[in-house]
A and B are shown apart, each in its own frame.
With several copies, the nearest count.
Chain A
């Protein structure tokens, strides 16, 4: 296992210590239970926005805590949803009196843990709304299953909800923004290599030198299909077509195009993918009005990419462009 770590047990703790040392102006890190919280939390009179999930997806979520985005993030063990006590403490820490939004990715573990935390927080008199992101079109959707995974659009939801909260909107209004992202965001990812979970010590799956996984999850879950590696253009098509087929959009709609690195894929390749994704979106009559390109929701050191499309309206554009100052995303200040 080739990693810059000390011991598998200490990965999350030491990463959080690094975050605390690196960004004291933006965030505070609380240990036992673990959560990352805005340095100036709670912001009174503002809706709190929190999220959380397994570690290994950095900068999501801890790197998105700060002005104009998350108020707190709860990191679990690597690829393991955090526990209710973390979310409960974080919820209390960011409660500025206007309630708290929980942005939850659609995984059974995340949902159940957040649900228990929300029940406990509400029992303590804090208003909580939860919105579940489930944008991964690689997963066959069905009433009888757990539905789709929450992936790339979670990052976008955190940005626009954070901006809406910063603007002073009510809990319902902020949650409505999140529901809009849930309705309008679609993603799909692929892997060129497996990741290695530190405490496992070997790759989650074996992928021969000439094969790739299409429809991969962000935890190294196997994808839709395994096949011979293809060109970047062909791969981009394989990701874009299911997204666009699934999109509730029509020609002429404006979109944000997010090309993400799974962790091990460098910028030079992302721009080659972006080029084709932009071309395909345009061919379908979509107008790419914003973009995000880089490692924002990673899967440890996995090589690969995911693409997210989010339909934008005037309000989402305004919220996207609003100032943000976090370790992982920053503009306007």
Chain B
């Protein structure tokens, strides 16, 4: 009932796979209310992360997350780069030296990660950003922790909450990021960053469902 180093690496690999697969989809979402690069950015970043796999192989989870964060920071660019970079760097700080994560550890890591995103981007819930997926996911996780749910169920619930948060971005008028330049015209479109956040958390739920 805990996430090992290998589980962590598998999650990262599965993030890379799922973002490569959804590259065009994310780009399409970004074309509608942004600049058509979110898919390419995330894919480029996680491809660079994959190239770092050998050097992460024997590291603790904190180091793995920090390596992922630094790599995303120097390869993604745009809004996604600093946000996801900070996300993993902050998660890494909370997981420093850890060889496995309990549900509680993961919740603490995700809480720090989200706090980092909010600190960097200053978005609030409802601004039509990745925060709209991440925050409900964290809240679901906290609830599961309180309810003593098993890890797999907790992750599924958290991914499900992220998915709902993502879908809930559709009617919103963006108040942060590039989509906010559109004003009212941003309504009616799903936020690309909320979508990639959902994909990443869903990959965690999928990868770790039997741990």
Does A associate with B in a complex?
Answer: yes
Residues in A lying within 8 Å of B, measured CB to CB? 33, 54, 76-85, 107-109, 112-113, 115-116, 136, 138-140, 144-146, 148-149, 197, 199-200, 204-205, 217, 219-222, 224
Query: How far, in Å, is A318 (CB) from chain B's closest CB?
Result: 34
Q: Taking A83-B74, A112-B82, A112-B83 as contacts, is the C-beta distance between A222 and B185 under 8 angstroms?
A: yes
A80-B177 Cα distance, complex, nearest whole Å: 13
Identify 19 new A-B residue pairs, CB closer than 8 A, beyond the known A199-B40, A219-B178: A76-B78, A77-B41, A77-B77, A80-B35, A80-B37, A83-B75, A85-B73, A85-B74, A108-B178, A109-B80, A109-B82, A113-B82, A115-B82, A200-B27, A204-B35, A217-B178, A219-B34, A220-B36, A222-B33
Q: Taking A77-B44, A116-B82 as contacts, is the C-beta distance between A108 and B77 under 8 angstroms?
A: no
Indicate if the CB atoms of A219 and B76 lie closer than 8 Å: no
A85-B48 Cα distance, complex, nearest whole Å: 15
Indicate if the CB atoms of A197 and B185 lie closer than 8 Å: no
- Chain B interface size band reads 20 to 34
**Most chain B beta-carbon neighbours within 10 Å: one of A108, A139, A204, A224:** A108
8 contacts between A and B (CB under 8 A): A80-B40, A80-B41, A85-B73, A109-B178, A113-B77, A139-B183, A204-B36, A219-B34
Indicate if the CB atoms of A116 and B73 lie closer than 8 Å: yes
Indicate if the CB atoms of A109 and B79 lie closer than 8 Å: yes
| Interface of chain A, main secondary structure | loop
Shortest Cβ distance from A116 into B: residue: B82
Indicate if the CB atoms of A146 and B185 lie closer than 8 Å: no
Query: How far, in Å, is A53 (CB) from chain B's closest CB?
Result: 10
Indicate if the CB atoms of A84 and B74 lie closer than 8 Å: yes
A144: chain B residues within 8 A (beta carbon): 175
Indicate if the CB atoms of A200 and B31 lie closer than 8 Å: yes
Query: How far, in Å, is B185 (CB) from chain A's closest CB?
Result: 6
Q: Taking A79-B35, A113-B77 as contacts, is the C-beta distance between A221 and B181 under 8 angstroms?
A: yes
Query: How far, in Å, is A236 (CB) from chain B's closest CB?
Result: 22
Query: How far, in Å, is A27 (CB) from chain B's closest CB?
Result: 21
Q: Is B209 an interface residue (CB 8 A)?
A: no
Shortest Cβ distance from A215 into B: residue: B181
Indicate if the CB atoms of A146 and B37 lie closer than 8 Å: no
A82: chain B residues within 8 A (beta carbon): 77
Indicate if the CB atoms of A83 and B81 lie closer than 8 Å: yes
Indicate if the CB atoms of B41 and A205 lie closer than 8 Å: no
- Which of A79, A146, A204, A222 makes the CB contact (< 8 A) with B180? A146
B27: chain A residues within 8 A (beta carbon): 200
Q: Taking A107-B178, A116-B82, A146-B177 as contacts, is the C-beta distance between A221 and B74 under 8 angstroms?
A: no
- Which of A83, A140, A149 makes the CB contact (< 8 A) with B77? A83
Indicate if the CB atoms of B34 and A145 lie closer than 8 Å: no
A84-B176 Cα distance, complex, nearest whole Å: 21
Shortest Cβ distance from A112 into B: residue: B82
Indicate if the CB atoms of A145 and B176 lie closer than 8 Å: yes
Query: How far, in Å, is B82 (CB) from chain A's closest CB?
Result: 4
A107: chain B residues within 8 A (beta carbon): 79, 178
A109-B73 Cα distance, complex, nearest whole Å: 11
Indicate if the CB atoms of A79 and B37 lie closer than 8 Å: yes
Shortest Cβ distance from A74 into B: residue: B77
Indicate if the CB atoms of A80 and B180 lie closer than 8 Å: no
Indicate if the CB atoms of A197 and B74 lie closer than 8 Å: no
Shortest Cβ distance from B24 into A: residue: A200
A89-B77 Cα distance, complex, nearest whole Å: 15
- Which of A112, A115, A149, A197 makes the CB contact (< 8 A) with B36? A197
- Which of A108, A148, A224 makes the CB contact (< 8 A) with B79? A108
Q: Is B52 an interface residue (CB 8 A)?
A: no
| CB contact list, B2-42 vs A, under 8 A | 27, 31, 33-37, 40-41
A204: chain B residues within 8 A (beta carbon): 31, 35-36
